[in-house]
Chains A and B, each alone.
Chain A
């Protein structure tokens, strides 16, 4: 069974803290993604990685950075958490192939207080 695992289901952090969200996939996928899900806004792409140490900004990268040191692991970093980063964060991975499918983790609900 394909699996994308996010390290935490729920996180509560304080404003100004550095926050790490971890994602691991066991499918040897080249592509990995971080999305943010907010009501009425859908899934917005934060960052995309197509290979180890390679990354591209998505639509809303401000306030975030990413790290991909190994193929199976993709980390999202909030350098200095702010209350407007309170959201559901979803990690996904996919193969580079025709009719590819993005497989999602269950999400991390982050609350910044």
Chain B
């Protein structure tokens, strides 16, 4: 059973649009929620991360929204660009140790 559930599986967005990817978790022991970006042929790389004591974190065009009571968090990519086309994984970890990943979202930003 997957510890972190991610949707949608794939997403097509026009250039300049907003991409939104959602994740949900059950284990309230999780205390760290990173997002990873993976390009073809590469390993995933950290994009942005949030702790549960804040509701939002923004870095450039990328924003994480976190809803602790609903046990949900989401990634928003503003002004999406073709270079953002990649697979995105949400993850959750506790005690800064084990990372559990979602099933991934393949994003395609059309020019």
Interchain CA distance A33-B96 in the complex, whole Å = 13
A50:B96 contact, CB within 8 angstroms: no
Q: Is A90 within 8 A of B102, CB to CB?
A: no
Q: A31-B97, A42-B103, A45-B98 are in contact. Are A99 and B49 (CB under 8 A)?
A: yes
- What string of 1s and 0s marks CB contacts (under 8 Å) between A83-113 and chain B? 0000000101011111111101111000000
CA distance A101 to B97 in the complex (A): 10
Is A4 in contact with chain B by the CB < 8 A criterion? yes
Residues of B within 8 A of A50 (CB): 97
Please measure, in the bound complex, the distance between the C-alpha atom of A95 and the C-alpha atom of B32, giving whole angstroms.
14
User: Is the beta-carbon distance between A99 and B51 smaller than 8 angstroms?
Assistant: yes
For B, the interface residue count at a CB cutoff of 8 angstroms equals 28
| Contact size range, A | 20 to 34
| Interface contact A40-B103, CB-CB below 8 Å | yes
Taken together as a complex, chains A and B put the C-alpha atoms of A9 and B51 apart, in Å, by 34
User: Could you give, for residues 27-65 of chain A, a 1 whenever the CB lies within 8 Å of some chain B CB and a 0 otherwise?
Assistant: 000010101000011111100101000001011000000
Chain B contacts for A45, CB-based, 8 A: 98-101
List residues of A whose CB falls within 8 A of some B CB: 4, 31, 33, 35, 40-45, 48, 50, 56, 58-59, 90, 92, 94-102, 104-107
